[in-house]
Structure 1
Amino acid sequence: MRVICLVLMLLLGAPGAHAGAWPRGEGQAFLSFSQAHSADPGQRGGTPDSYAGLYAEYGLGPRLTLGLDAGHARDAGSWTAIAYLRRSLDRGAGRHRVAAELGLGARGRAGRRAEPVLRPGLSWGMGLNTRWGPGWAGVESYAEHRVESAETALKADTTLGLKPRPGRMLILQIQTGDYPGAAPYLRLAPSLVQRVGRHGHLELGLTAAALGDTRVGVKLGTWVAF
């Protein structure tokens, strides 16, 4: 099963709310707050898992983006916070966008000392024209190296997005990962994003495991761009 998941990650790309391979415009900022709950339908009476996420980006220049990716799992008592710098590798012309990034941060668990984390990443994306409206496709991949334990977690998310009308987005994300001490997973995460006001969006999403996991969940998020 581990080999199957890694092969899928490579097929989906060597490398949502995230800009992925597209840089933030110079001087532009983006904030996203999300809350996700998931549970195993086969375990009756169990307590759902809960995860709160914070994502922020700021455009330092035409090709350089500064970001923060943080989250907290309430039930496990674990947290992660990574600051990163992403640089566009393309010249901004043509359909394809490619970017590389390097993140530094820490991860921890209640009652334990925080562990430093090094996270390089590679992203690819391109715009799409469809009969239902403009859209995009992208792949974001990361290798999260945990310095003290010398363990490495692999993650790759493939995203397909569509804008059927102004202010509305339909998104399908295929999430894959291989984390130390856990089975490799593949999840499907569709979501609907609706503009609210001039600068905000609301996101309502679902998650369903297809490989290595049996949980299903729901996600509610807010986006603010300015």
Structure 2
Amino acid sequence: MKILLIWVSCLAGLQSAAHAGPWPREEGHTFIAAGGNFLLSDGAELPVHYDPTLYVEYGLRPELTVGLDFYSADKGRIYSAFSFAAIPANSLDADLKSMLSFGIGYRRNADGSEELLTRIGLSLGQSTPNGWLAFDGNITYGAIDQTFRPKADFTWGRSWSDQWTTTLQVQTGQGFSDDHYAKVSPTLIYTINERYRVNLGSVHALTGDRGSALKIETWIQF
């Protein structure tokens, strides 16, 4: 299962490189993103590890996107799963796109305990002449530990041609042990066709053990 999750992550279309981004999924269309890290540097454990992710998104209506979000953290000792719904926070025709997301989830902790999670998020995005800028933030609350844990990602994307795109993302948040982390992740995206894209990049920790890894992600939309 762990190998499957590693190969089966990232997000919604070329317009956004963060989960539950500000651009709603087109009605009747599905997006699947999956991947993880590999070739970890010596001693890389926190905040960079293998970190497999699986993300599924479906456009239920023009103004309602629903999905599932699975991922691991804390050196692979914690597993989380969410179902969520996302709705526009302003007009779909506005230049600055915004989406609110609401999720209910489950987490298996490092000590074997399990707890119910709730999550609320806000995403903002602005198209640029050759790409986009985006902010994706959320707060997760655990029913057992009763702690609010924030997370925020900042993304800049640039399209160079019909086939090649690059992104630079800064990821920040609060971990399960109440530590605060920051990571930077540059990525090269290759468009195979309208349905498939492959992303190859790296991730570097700015906190913790300052470990690094390469990452691979696959995007499928239909």
TM-score of the alignment, normalized to the shorter chain, above 0.5: yes
Partner of 1:13: none
Partner of 1:116: 116
Partner of 2:10: none
Partner of 1:37: 38
1:49 alignment partner, SS class: coil
Q: In terms of mean alpha carbon deviation, does 140-149 or 190-199 score higher? A: 190-199
1:38 touches 1:49 (CA, 8 Å); kept in 2? no
Once the two structures are superposed, residues 133-190 of structure 1 have per-residue CA deviations (whole angstroms, 9 ceiling, x without a partner) of x200010001010111101211000111011100221000010112242431221101
Partner of 2:58: 58
Q: Distance in 2 between matches of 1:19 and 1:90?
A: 16
Once the two structures are superposed, residues 95-149 of structure 1 have per-residue CA deviations (whole angstroms, 9 ceiling, x without a partner) of 10011110001010467232100000011101001xxxx2000100010101111
Partner of 1:98: 98
Partner of 1:221: 217
| Aligned pair partner of 1:199 in 191, 195, 204 | 195
Q: Note if 1:179 corresponds to 2:180.
A: no
Higher strand share: 1
Number of aligned positions between the proteins: 203
2:203 touches 2:212 (CA, 8 Å); kept in 1? yes
Q: Give the number of the structure whose alpha-carbon radius of gyration is greater.
A: 1
| Aligned pair partner of 2:184 in 182, 188, 195 | 188
Identify unmatched segments of 5+ residues in structure 2.
1-16
Flag the 1:152–1:38 CA change in 2: closer, same or farther, 3 A: farther
Matched residue type, 1:224: I
1:174 touches 1:187 (CA, 8 Å); kept in 2? yes
1:38 touches 1:215 (CA, 8 Å); kept in 2? no
| Aligned pair partner of 1:167 in 160, 163, 171 | 163
Matched residue type, 1:153: R
Flag the 1:19–1:135 CA change in 2: closer, same or farther, 3 A: farther
Q: Distance in 2 between matches of 1:99 and 1:159?
A: 16
Q: Distance in 2 between matches of 1:17 and 1:123?
A: 9
Flag the 1:220–1:38 CA change in 2: closer, same or farther, 3 A: same
The offset of 1:49, in angstroms, is: 3.2
1:17 touches 1:32 (CA, 8 Å); kept in 2? no
2:74 touches 2:176 (CA, 8 Å); kept in 1? no
Q: In terms of mean alpha carbon deviation, does 136-145 or 189-198 score higher? A: 189-198
Q: Note if 1:208 corresponds to 2:204.
A: yes
Length-normalised TM-score, structure 2: 0.84
Flag the 1:170–1:90 CA change in 2: closer, same or farther, 3 A: same
